[in-house]
Amino acid sequence: QKDPHYKDDRDTMVHLFEWKFDDIADECERFLGPMGYGGVQVSPINENLIMRNRPWYERYQPLSFKINTRSGNESSFASMVKRCNAVDVRIYVDIVVNHMSGDANPAVGTGGSTANTSSRSYPAVPFSFADFHQPVCSISNYNNATEVRNCELSGLHDLDQSKEYVRSKIVEFINRIIDLGVAGIRVDAAKHMWPQDLKVIYSRLNNLSVAHGFPAKSRLFIYQEVIDLGGEAIKKGEYTSLGRVIEFTFGIVLGNFFRGNEQLKFLKNWGNGWGLLPSEDALVMIDNHDNQRGHGAGGATILTYKLPKQYKMATAFELAHPYGTTRVMSSFNFTDPSIGPPADKNGSILSPEIDPKTGTCKNGWICEHRWHQIQQMVVFRLVAKNDPINNWWDNDGDQIAFSRGSNAFIALNNDDEDLKQSLVTGLPAGKYCDVITGQVKNNKCTGKTVEVGKNGVAFVDIPASAEDGVLAIHIGRQS
Ligand code: ARE
Ligand code: CA
């Protein structure tokens, strides 16, 4: 349950936050598949409460388990999963099963279902009063594990997963999407559910669908949202026997580093230790849909697309380092942290428009996953395979470099001084194209060419004023 089931030697998933299913399918075929991405996390797919002004977070207020949201319906979902699997890109669904909606009157859903939220009546499931934790209480003390699990998170009506009927409805929903060909789930608010209840639910899930190309007896990839920065009652380690856990410390610490608050040289032993989970238990990111806008945990240290140079450096480090299963965020532009995705007057989500020249997105979509530097680091990661970090170098300050075995080499400069240095790259002698400043086009490198000598040494040059403080070369891109 910790294996993302990437096809062949693919790697890294992207969260296409709030994208429509048809657009995701197109993106799998025209970009993610060809580029080597392993999979896509999609926003919650089951029917949600329609809220005034359509904030993005309405999708975390379920009204039923019907697949019907602003991203599309069950048939467009099924078609997306098929089309993405066909080009070797896996689909992971964000599952919201800790709770249903908060109070709303009237409560009408994206699939037309209604609910009487104050009496906990959700006829489209159906759920009723007895399926929710009682007495009703709200979470305020994170040092009390029972309160965190049995009370309401921000007024969201809290399902009781110890009840057989509630379990059966959740299992039914997840099994339905497994049979449609998904490879995994993000378990929203897993911290707010008892591990023993989740264990029962997970144990009843079907194997992945052989009809959709998964090997026999493959188990669903499970990664759970358990925010644990230390100092609370609930520990991330309580969930690692069930699946992976999203390691929130990762992006917070790296955000702090690449904002310049800590010297990069201290990243030499980054990974296990550092208060991070063991690598094989962790799913990691620089930012997510919550903490990029001040929700969830991390606050102002989180880096986002709004600080592109630092963000790209932190992401390059994430993808170059062997720790964890990596996820890349793909956002829409916002200033108001509540605002939903780009939409027309009727609230229908707009498709991202892609600039044919640059391959970047327009009309409000940021598409970090298409940024040249990020996309190329995804390739770097799959070329690096499982090779260890070798040839660590630092200037005793904010300049670092390392190789991944003899497949790939990266240098980062977060210093006020230029990095100009002969460094051991670990790579075979030859001419390499720096994938950050350019690419190989018609057999020519459009960016910096790096010459590695017979001894594996190359001269590395990253000016302090460079657009990107990164240089990355690997055996897949020689010129
Ligand atoms: C919205 C409104 C609320 C309102 C509620 C009900 O903002 O004011 O009371 O609706 O009407 C998202 C948004 C919420 C939103 C919710 C439902 O972030 O603002 O509420 O959708 O629309 C905790 C949880 C963690 C959770 C974060 C946000 O532990 O699970 O809070 N993250 C997930 C998703 C979110 C989503 C939900 C859960 C709910 O990723 O997108 O909420 O499905 C410490 C603790 C953390 C805690 C954190 C913040 O760091 O350690 O555990 O995270 O503080 O409180
Ligand atoms: Ca709960």
Q: Which atom of ligand 1 is nearest to the CA of 338?
A: 7
pLDDT of residue 57: 98
Six token digits for residue 475:
């055996």
pLDDT of residue 9: 86
Instruction: Identify the helix (H) or strand (E) that includes residue 38.
Output: strand 37-42
Taking residues 215-242, report their average pLDDT.
98
Q: For 299-349, what is each residue's pLDDT tens digit?
A: 999 999 999 999 999 999 999 999 999 999 999 999 999 999 999 999 999
Q: Is the dihedral of CA 288, 291, 295, 296 positive or negative?
A: positive
The span from the CA of 455 to the CA of 126, in Å, is: 68
The span from the CA of 173 to the CA of 150, in Å, is: 22
Place of tokens 């929710």: 132
pLDDT of residue 320: 98
137 Cα to the center of ligand 2, angstroms: 11
pLDDT of residue 56: 98
The span from the CA of 476 to the CA of 183, in Å, is: 28
CA angle (130, 133, 134) in 5-degree steps? 85
- Nearest ligand to residue 43 Cα: 1
- Nearest ligand to residue 51 Cα: 1
Please state, for a pLDDT cut of 70, what percent of the chain lies above it.
Answer: 100
pLDDT of residue 8: 93
Query: Whole-prediction pTM value?
Result: 0.98
Nearest CA, atom 52, ligand 1 = 227
The span from the CA of 403 to the CA of 410, in Å, is: 6
232 Cα to the center of ligand 1, angstroms: 17
Q: Which of 193, 185, 186, 190 is nearest to 162 (CA)?
A: 193
* Strands of 449-452's sheet in order across: 419-424, 457-462, 449-452, 430-433
The span from the CA of 357 to the CA of 157, in Å, is: 48
The span from the CA of 470 to the CA of 410, in Å, is: 7
For residue 113, list its beta bridge partners. Answer: none
For residue 390, list its beta bridge partners. Answer: 403
Is a pLDDT exceeding 80 seen at residue 97? yes
- Look up residue 293 and give its amino acid: R
How much of the chain is in helix, strand and coil states, percent to nearest 5?
30, 25, 45
61 Cα to the center of ligand 1, angstroms: 10
Q: For 413-450, what is each residue's pLDDT tens digit?
A: 999 999 999 999 999 999 999 999 999 888 899 999 99
* ipTM summary value: 0.99
The span from the CA of 323 to the CA of 326, in Å, is: 8
Nearest CA, atom 48, ligand 1 = 296
Nearest CA, atom 47, ligand 1 = 296
- Nearest ligand to residue 41 Cα: 1
Ligand 1 surroundings by CB, under 6 angstroms: 57-58, 60-61, 96, 102, 142, 153-156, 188-189, 191, 225, 227, 232, 290, 295-297
Nearest CA, atom 2, ligand 1 = 154
Is a pLDDT exceeding 90 seen at residue 285? yes
Residue 398 near residue 413 (C-beta atoms within 8 A): yes
Please state, for a pLDDT cut of 90, what percent of the chain lies above it.
Answer: 97
pLDDT of residue 255: 98
**Per-residue confidence band for 478, with pLDDT thresholds at 50, 70 and 90:** confident
Say which range, 193-197, 268-272, 284-288, has the weakest mean pLDDT. Answer: 268-272
Residue among 295, 302, 336 to mutate when testing ligand 1 (max atoms within 8 A of CB): 295
Helices (H), 209-283: 248-256
Q: Tell me the pLDDT of the chain averaged across its residues.
A: 97
Is a pLDDT exceeding 80 seen at residue 197? yes
DSSP state of 349: B
CA angle (20, 61, 367) in 5-degree steps? 30
Q: Which of 169, 102, 140 is nearest to 161 (CA)?
A: 169
Residue among 153, 246, 339 to mutate when testing ligand 1 (max atoms within 8 A of CB): 153
Strands (E), 324-453: 325-330, 353-354, 361-362, 389-394, 399-404, 408-413, 419-424, 430-433, 440-441, 444-445, 449-452
DSSP state of 472: E
Q: For 118-164, what is each residue's pLDDT tens digit?
A: 999 999 999 999 999 999 999 999 999 999 999 999 999 999 999 99
70 Cα to the center of ligand 2, angstroms: 26
pLDDT of residue 399: 98
Is a pLDDT exceeding 80 seen at residue 479? no
Taking residues 288-296, report their average pLDDT.
97
